Structure 1
Amino acid sequence: MKLRRLFIGLLCFASCGSWAALIRVTDTDSLTLALGKAQDGDTIVLATAVYSGSFSVTQSIHLKGEAGATLDAQRHGSALIVEAAKVTIEGLNIRHWGRDLYYRDAGILLKQGADNVLITANRLEGEGFGIYGEHIDAPEILANSISGNGAIYVLDRGDGIYLKHVTAPQIHNNQLIFVRDGVYLESVNHSRISENQFTKLQYGIHYMYTQTDEAWQNQAIAVDGGYALMSSTDIYLHHNRVTQARDFGILLNITESCHVQANSISNIHNPKGTVELGNEGKGIFIYAAQNNRIEDNEFGHSDTGISMAMGGEKNRLWRNRIVENQTQVKYVGDAQLEWSYQGQGNYWSQYQGWDLDSDGIGDLVHRPNDSLDKLFWLYPEAKLLMESPVVLLLRWVERQFQPQVTSGISDSFPLMHWDEPVQVDRVSR
């Protein structure tokens, strides 16, 4: 009887001298039997039903769900374990897998050997990892919805997509909410991530020890941080958006040779933070990062627009729009930094200079911080004096006379106008 239910029809065609079967299943037993007997190239179609338990894929098959087909792991272990290459998982609802992060409980667990897997148009809801893959090549994760549990403390949740020691993953058009990090990449190279939406989680994309990656046209809303680039090299982060984050829009932490271009970062605000204590919301936070290019971005309407600390001086910043932040720039260091390149600086909303020759470049050097700013950062208790008449007079005198400075930020070619960068589907390096 099970074989009769299992075998609804065969789609027969010659492919490398073999036959491929189209098998339709309707319950847990027939699905388990079909997975055990499947051969490379077969397609298993899951009828609308709930399939309870944990299932393993050990052959290169196409697993496809009809509307409402649901895998329910009953809150234990992983729902679907993939151990074969060239598997396609499409159109399934996957729910209620376990939440033990040590044992890598996941909606879809990709084991070593699960190369060239395609995971597309699935809906995953659970408390562990959404999709977990380690020591695999070229997975494609496209147009999935992954949701965690917003009632769990964010650091106790699993990541939406977790990839470790993975080459050339493609992650596009997914929606992720209530997980830890939307996409977490560790020791990954040549990743491509685009057009994903991240909401109510820790970081949208979190890079650790990665290289030669690219991310574009992703959107992070109401997150702790947008895009965290940590101990990584050669990442091209462009045309992404972050809004309503708490800690930062972009973080460059011990990161080298990255290109941050044409991103829009706004409304980064920590209601419990202060600039003096360093826990305010930052448009971009550059921490011990070297040799990065930061251009054509907008950092606006945040607690601090650009914050730099601990050896982040060797970076090139130009043609950015720094507008209406409570503190435009925070830098406490011993170096004198020039934030311009080839005669073009940045656009500053509070710049008060002029452009007598109408070349679009301000005639006065712009210094976003004065010596009093540094005093208040070093000695937060002096904040009570910040708006006193004497302090306001000292600020005015310092700005009028443009004194010679030995440390801080200077923009010798401040832009009088801002041209919006062109939005494109993809900009290749």
Structure 2
Amino acid sequence: MKYVILIVEGSAEPVPEDASVSTALEAAVLPNLAALARTGRVGAAAFIPEGCTPDEEIAMVSAFGIEPLGAGITRGVLDAISQGVDIEPGSVVASVELITVIDRDAEGAGEILEPVSIPEREAVGLFDDLAAFWRGRGRNVAVHHVGGRRAVLIESVGHSFRGVRTEVPVLGEAFDTLLPAGGIPGEADALAALVRTSHEFLREHEINLARVEQGLLPANLAWVTQPSPRPHVPGFKERTGLSACVVDRRGIAIGLARLLEIEAIVAVEVTLGDLARIAIEAIDTNDVVIVRITNTPLEAVDSEFVGPLLNRLFSEGNPEVQPATSAASSGFASGWRMLVMPTRVVDKNGMEHNDPVPIIMAGAWIRAAVLRRWTERDAAQSDLFVRHGHELMEYFLFGGLTRRPTRSRNRRFKNEQS
């Protein structure tokens, strides 16, 4: 069996209360995806656990079949791994974001204004100098820029930050009311000291002084969140018995793939046609191919990517008509399955929501009694609803199959009757 998972970020949005108003997904003309929906099942999945903010890393971890709340897989961990930054045993990695605060008094207490838009060159300069400043104060830290206003901080020795709670920056709040708290005595204070001293240093940095002179907002505080060691999670093949490959132009999906010991292909500055060819080649050597496409017109994705990919999958044959042949030795019927989905709902203003997302599952032994379109409204009416999104991967890979690879007690894999 060959499996393809297409993650199309930015394709779903909140359903308007006015039934006469269409979402972008409802208005799009998508002949290949429409055909896939007709032959398979349309439903919904909730990748953001109840009560959680719709963070990208939570949704992505859930989509890869891992319960996100207990995994310890933070944004900083994924950013670091995606950039090839080593997280050595005993080290802690945290996310760092440049923001703007307005000083309220001589002591430097400040009100959070907003995350700042800053050129890469300036961000790298600020992060490099800030890391040197912190090291000069006795902290064993390294800061690695990962893009835009974001970086990861690695602290090698001295602090575990175990149990420390961090908050996201809140517009209009005083930053000193949102500093780290809890955990082992002294650990929250040590993390908070990085935030406070970053403001002391950055507000006087020449880059920020020049920005102020130009009428631009200064990047005068480094907000540090989610300190964590490198988590120990089973690899994808260890969990499923299947080989896999992830194709993405950039982003945390690459970091997650490497964490889960999945082959990762970074496909930057490529067309959708190029991306389709890369995915098709990956199908030849892997059981599961996961492709993530972000902020790309759906019509183009449908015609330039989905069409060629389906032609390749169709060559695997239909096991409901043709008995298993070459794949029989591995315990699987021949054939294919495809899953199409976003991981989060995003409104027209770019705000993420924790609503369930519409999905399509199609391929071998996947059929629906009611035909539905791949839209937010149709998905909400379907009886296919995966309340705990991390369970979708298992259902997609093995639902309805009589055999699957499982891990034996000696940690080897074998084909075993389910």
Q: Which has the higher helix share?
A: 2
TM-score range, shorter chain: under 0.3
Larger relative contact order (CA 8 Å, sep ≥ 6): 2
More strand by share: 1
- In the superposition, the TM-score normalised over structure 2's length comes to 0.19
TM-score by length of 1: 0.19
